[in-house]
Structure 1
Amino acid sequence: MTDDTTNTSRHVSQWVDAGFDEVYAYAADPDNLPRWAAGLADPKLAGVEVEFAERNEFGVLDHVVTLPSGERFFNPMRVIPAGIGERGCEVVFSLRRLAGVTDAEFDSDAAAVAADLATLRALVERAG
């Protein structure tokens, strides 16, 4: 079944047992992307550019991925502290469903994002 509905998002999140600042710094560093974002580490995607929002105190990691074809994709992402004075944080990626994407493809994309966020969690928790 194909759902051509646009403006559909799925929020994929992962709790991380590490400080907000360290998670944000690691995830915001473009040099670390291939370590945790499997889709961007694929050698078939040579020439892909990723542009992050300016570093900020609010944990905004929104980014634009530009493919070699020139096609661009906006990806909202946040690191959210557990609370004031509390250790831990949640990383949330808002997966946007594009027109023509089937339910199975959208589910597969969400699973890939969840795996990437789990990898990010493991790397940051191991380093801390």
Structure 2
Amino acid sequence: MSVLQALTVTVTIARPPQEVYDYAREERNFAAWTTSFSRSIRQEDDWWIVETDEDPVYIRFVPRNDYGILDHEARVGDGSIVWNRMRVVPNGSGSEVLFTLFRQPDVSEAKFAEDAGMVRRDLETLRRVLEG
């Protein structure tokens, strides 16, 4: 059994959890807050295709749920699938959004740090969009 290096990035958003969840879960909003890599998004069957500066990324969220779970799979250019773990949890009258990255075996330390920075920027964008 191998264990991957993990890093959880969080952001506090001064909006109710259901509002944060509903906005983030709506795939049509994805490109508005994932600005570090998304250029546009379109639907094809049950996948959302995110156009990036590189290859398209195919995204599919878990079904809507009452637990704030926003996990989604991302199929990247080489066909591999990476599961992204994301949650919206209550924090007083607001929300905490958590995104856990797992460093894949073929990803360098520098690339992992770059990915974490992108997630951090995207979560901050989500906060700005929702808090207005």
Moved over 4 A (4+): none
* Structure 1 counterpart SS, 2:59: strand
More strand by share: 2
- Distance of aligned partners of 1:98 and 1:46 in 2 relative to their CA distance in 1, 3 Å threshold: closer
Aligned 8 A contact 1:6 1:99 in 2: no
What is the CA RMSD across the aligned residues, in angstroms?
Answer: 1.7
Report the equivalent of 1:22.
19
Q: Tell me the amino acid that sits aligned with residue 123 of structure 2.
A: L
* Cα distance between partner residues in 1 of 2:109 and 2:27: 31
| One of 69, 74, 80 as aligned partner of 2:83 | 74
Q: Tell me the amino acid that sits aligned with residue 19 of structure 2.
A: E
Stretches of structure 1 lacking an aligned partner (at least 5 in a row):
none
Aligned 8 A contact 1:24 1:79 in 2: yes
* Cα distance between partner residues in 1 of 2:114 and 2:55: 22
Count, aligned residues = 119
Identity %, equivalent residues = 34
Report the equivalent of 1:61.
70
Deviation at 1:24, TM superposition (A): 0.3
The answer on 1:35 being equivalent to 2:25 is no
The answer on 1:91 being equivalent to 2:97 is yes
* Cα distance between partner residues in 2 of 1:119 and 1:79: 15
Give the TM-score of the pair, scaled to structure 2: 0.82
- Distance of aligned partners of 1:43 and 1:8 in 2 relative to their CA distance in 1, 3 Å threshold: closer
Give the TM-score of the pair, scaled to structure 1: 0.84
Q: Which has the higher relative contact order, 1 or 2, with Cα contacts under 8 A spaced 6 or more apart?
A: 1
The answer on 1:115 being equivalent to 2:121 is yes
Report the equivalent of 1:8.
5
Deviates more, 1:103-112 or 1:29-38: 103-112
* Cα distance between partner residues in 1 of 2:10 and 2:71: 14
